[in-house]
Amino acid sequence: MEKPDFIKYGAMRLPPGFRFHPTDEELVVQYLRRKAFSWPLPAAVIPEIDLGKYDPWDLPGGGSEGEQYFFSLREARYLNGRRHNRATVSGYWKVTGKDKPVIASRCSQLVGLKKVLVFYRGKPPHGSRTDWIMHEYCLADPETRAFSFSQRKTSPHSSMVPSKDWVVCRIFKKRRATRIDAEITSYYNYSRIQNNNTEPIDPGPSLSSSSSSSSCLTDLSEDGEEGSSHRTASSPNGRET
């Protein structure tokens, strides 16, 4: 059965009532890894773009303040170099902090790395910081990722090594706190102080969260379906339940 395509005019277009909100693990395991190895994707919801051609407010889809997701190829700044060119028309993306590991929950294996970047207008090092944020996900280094696929059934059309340096990016505009937000927070904190002497309400039995990936890294069949018997249902908002 042909999977629906939710990409129109270079941007994600979901039906009313649906929201795409994957976890870090789902982005790497279910989307980026499949994209890099040319395996079938769960759904066509993430478009491909050249991020260097767009400022964040001009991205396909209108540059809305909600989260947007894109596949993109990383461009090396220098030949044989590890630094990447992240310049755009009006500025550049600057990495902040250290890379964060993305671990497959069921296998406890390193599957990817997450970078946090901030967009600056102008040219480095004198650019002005903006509220645009990017989370860039890449697969783990070749030395650590190759073993994850050793048990997968191969075919003449499958590859154990990614042919291109794909990344998947989550881009959004950070919302600035307003005076109303501050007043709401202050009122909430005041209410908590007033209720400190009251007896706490029993929340009841806690709900256990499900794993974001229903199978380990080697459970994928050639058609992209999960081979594990532990399947999970996908909710309309993109998370598994």
Q: Is residue 214 part of a domain?
A: no
Residue range 212-217: average pLDDT? Answer: 50
Q: Is residue 207 part of a domain?
A: no
Q: Is residue 227 part of a domain?
A: no
pLDDT over threshold 50, residue 149: no
Q: Which domain holds residue 76?
A: 7-192
Amino acid at 147: F
8 Å CB contact between 138 and 144: no
pLDDT tier at 176, thresholds 50, 70, 90? confident
Decide: helix, strand or coil at residue 198.
coil
Q: Is residue 131 part of a domain?
A: yes
Q: Is residue 21 part of a domain?
A: yes
* pLDDT attached to residue 11: 65
- Number of domains into which the chain is organized: 1
pLDDT tier at 85, thresholds 50, 70, 90? confident
Q: Is residue 13 part of a domain?
A: yes
pLDDT tier at 61, thresholds 50, 70, 90? confident
Q: Is residue 220 part of a domain?
A: no
The alpha carbon dihedral of 88, 114, 171, 5 has a sign of positive
Residue 222 backbone phi and psi in degrees, to 5: -65, -25
> How many Å apart are CA 108 and CA 130, to the nearest integer?
36
- Report the CATH number at residue 47: 2.170.150.80
Q: Is residue 1 part of a domain?
A: no
